[in-house]
Amino acid sequence: MSILPIPVDFNYSLAFKEALSNGQICLNYQPIIDLNTGRVQGYEALMRWTHPSFGSISPGIFIPALVESGLIVEASKWALRESCRALKRIEGRIGQVKNLYMSVNFTASDFAEESFLDDLYQIISASDVLPTQIQLEITEELLMSQPDNARKTLELCRKAGLKIAVDDFGTGKASLEFLQNFPIDTVKLDRVFIRGMTSHPEKLDEAKPVLSIAQKRHLTMTAEGIETQEEAFLLKQLGCNTAQGYYFAKPLPEKDITELLLGNSGFSRKLEPVFA
């Protein structure tokens, strides 16, 4: 069947509700790699939508539509629930228990919900996943738009054992000094911040002080969007702790993630030049 163009008046919110109930929505998982050992530390859960008529709908299109409609709150809870279940299944298949974590994205709309923390704790508790195995991934924009609520919410999350990561760092106005006002474990360097470092010295000069401050403040730095061996090696030399990107692996279905961890994908051999 040929793929049709998406109509201008397409109701993403209504269609998304139907998609959740009929299996069009799924999660893919992108490995987060320890740059010192080459081992998979965890995964970022990424939502995917395959429509029967329109094919793959970009998250860059449907996520903003869900935020605008308020349906993102339901979508985020679904993603957390599915991520926890997938993590339990993966652990069972590979024989490693409590060694991996899952990073799940949340928005300002999620944090504004009065029941956010209660829903969060209930989903994690029901899944038999440890709170330390879940990383909440938020944006600079969230912190800057509601700093007091974000700080209070994140402090309670940290007390419960959850990890906190700030996504897309380097694309907004927030500085590491500003981020120090919040209980954060990890800062994720945006691919735009990283791209071109190997060929443009000025970009490298921009990154060095950020990584230096992060090291002094004991923050984990994750490089996003790594596409080449050269980028991976450079970030490792600069002191970046972890990385993800197509050089290592694209976001994968759960079955492929299991095979990767069991060593059936040639993944470890690909990493040898970087971690030698």
Return the structure tokens found at 113.
């919900």
The answer on pLDDT for 238 being more than 90 is no
Query: Residues 219-243: what's their mean pLDDT?
Result: 91
Res. 191 pLDDT band, cuts 50 70 90: confident
Report field, pTM of the whole predicted structure over 0.75: yes
The answer on pLDDT for 94 being more than 70 is yes
Fold classified for 20-275: TIM Barrel (3.20.20)
The answer on pLDDT for 180 being more than 70 is yes
Task: For residue 210, count other CB atoms closer than 10 A to its CB.
Answer: 19
Return the structure tokens found at 21.
């109930």
Rounded Cα distance, 169 and 68, in Å? 23
Task: For residue 119, count other CB atoms closer than 10 A to its CB.
Answer: 17
pLDDT at residue number 190: 84
The answer on pLDDT for 201 being more than 80 is no
**How would you class 102 by CB atoms within 10 Å of its CB: exposed for 0-12, middle for 13-18, buried for 19 or more?**
buried
